């Protein structure tokens, strides 16, 4: 199975870049499944039902989120009606929505896509390690599903890497999101799980993590309240991860970073 993941879509520039590049990426990489993290797609804070519809129209199969999932209030009443839109699985019981989805391909193969949120330097949450362990007691790689993909949304690289090793051999791939900076550590662990600490954002990199530079700089320099932060509006770089799995075992065979457009040096998998 060939899985394309796109990192945090940031504001209009990120959405525009995705519109321009995603159809071509899906075709050129021969992607079977496309997963997009869109928690910052609506002016940099949250997402809304219209953006979800637009992403599906571009060929997105599953949408993941993170700590900004509820920033646009209309998503609260919408998320239960859209099983392809995920919120982190380790929100408290009773929270609207679900943290995973089993997506079926036209040929019958199935991929379990999960979304979890880390806890270091993040909002207090239920244990993501326990939540994933419970999920994997029900769904088994290479048996009940052909692939398992986890978007682990968090700040600390150590926590993401620990989760990757904890799940090594039990899932196809783990990709980190949230920091908006792509990492150079794409690899396949010893047990066969593909890993990247952070896919990076799909947004304008002439910015401070996707935000217009002036306001965050002023906050750091003056330590005083400033104007509201808003997304940078220059040409965005689409960042992501591409993974190819073995259909029998569900483990990763190849993994590579994806970068196209904007300021960052392009990178494209060659498998």
Q: What is the 3-state secondary structure (H, E, C) of 200-240?
A: CCEECCCCECCECCHHHHHHHHHCCCCCCCCECCCCCEEEE
If one counts the domains in the chain, the total is: 1
Q: Does the residue 212 lie in any domain? A: no
What are the average pLDDT values for consecutive 10-residue runs of the chain, which has 271 residues? 98 98 98 98 96 98 97 96 98 97 98 98 96 98 97 98 98 98 98 98 97 93 87 97 97 98 97 96
Q: Does the residue 218 lie in any domain? A: no
pTM across the whole model: 0.97
2-6 and 238-245 as β-strands: parallel, antiparallel, unpaired?
antiparallel
Predicted pLDDT at 103? 98
Predicted pLDDT at 225? 80
Q: Does the residue 142 lie in any domain? A: yes
* Active-site residue, selected from the candidate residues 68, 153, 178, 180: 68
Residue 181 belongs to domain with CATH number: 3.60.21.10
Predicted pLDDT at 228? 86
Catalytic residue at 21? no
CA distances from 146 to 55, 167, 173, 205, 249 (A): 24, 16, 12, 35, 7
CA-to-CA distance for 41 and 25, rounded, in angstroms?
19
Predicted pLDDT at 95? 97
Q: Does the residue 221 lie in any domain? A: no
Q: Does the residue 170 lie in any domain? A: yes
Alpha helices, H only, the chain: 11-28, 49-57, 74-78, 128-136, 157-167, 214-222
Please give the residue range of the domain that contains residue 85: 2-204+234-260
> Which residue is listed with tokens 């593909």?
194
Predicted pLDDT at 254? 98
């Amino acid at each position: 199975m060939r899985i394309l993941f796109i990192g945090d879509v940031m504001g209009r520039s990120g959405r525009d870049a995705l519109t321009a590049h995603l159809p071509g990426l899906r075709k050129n990489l021969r992607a079977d499944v496309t997963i997009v993290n869109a928690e910052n797609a609506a002016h940099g804070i949250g997402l809304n039902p219209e953006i979800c519809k637009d992403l599906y129209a571009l060929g997105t199969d599953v949408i993941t989120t993170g700590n900004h999932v509820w920033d646009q209030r209309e998503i609260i009443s919408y998320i239960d009606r859209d099983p392809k839109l995920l919120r982190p699985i380790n929100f408290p019981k009773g929270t609207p929505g679900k943290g995973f989805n089993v997506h079926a391909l036209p040929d019958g193969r199935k991929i379990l896509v999960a979304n979890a949120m880390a806890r270091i330097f993040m909002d207090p949450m239920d244990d993501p390690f326990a939540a994933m362990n419970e999920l994997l007691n029900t769904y088994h790689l290479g048996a009940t599903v052909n692939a398992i993909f986890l978007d682990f949304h968090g700040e600390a690289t150590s926590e993401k890497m620990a989760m990757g090793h904890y799940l090594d051999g039990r899932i196809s791939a783990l990709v980190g999101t949230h920091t908006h900076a792509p990492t150079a550590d794409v690899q396949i662990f010893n047990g066969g799980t593909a890993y990247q600490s952070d896919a990076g954002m799909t947004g304008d990199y002439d910015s401070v993590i996707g935000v217009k530079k002036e306001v965050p700089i002023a906050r750091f320099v003056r330590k005083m309240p400033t104007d509201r932060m808003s997304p940078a509006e220059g040409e965005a770089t689409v960042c992501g991860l591409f993974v190819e799995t073995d259909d029998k075992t569900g483990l990763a065979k190849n993994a590579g970073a994806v970068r196209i457009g904007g300021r960052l040096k392009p990178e494209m998998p060659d498998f």
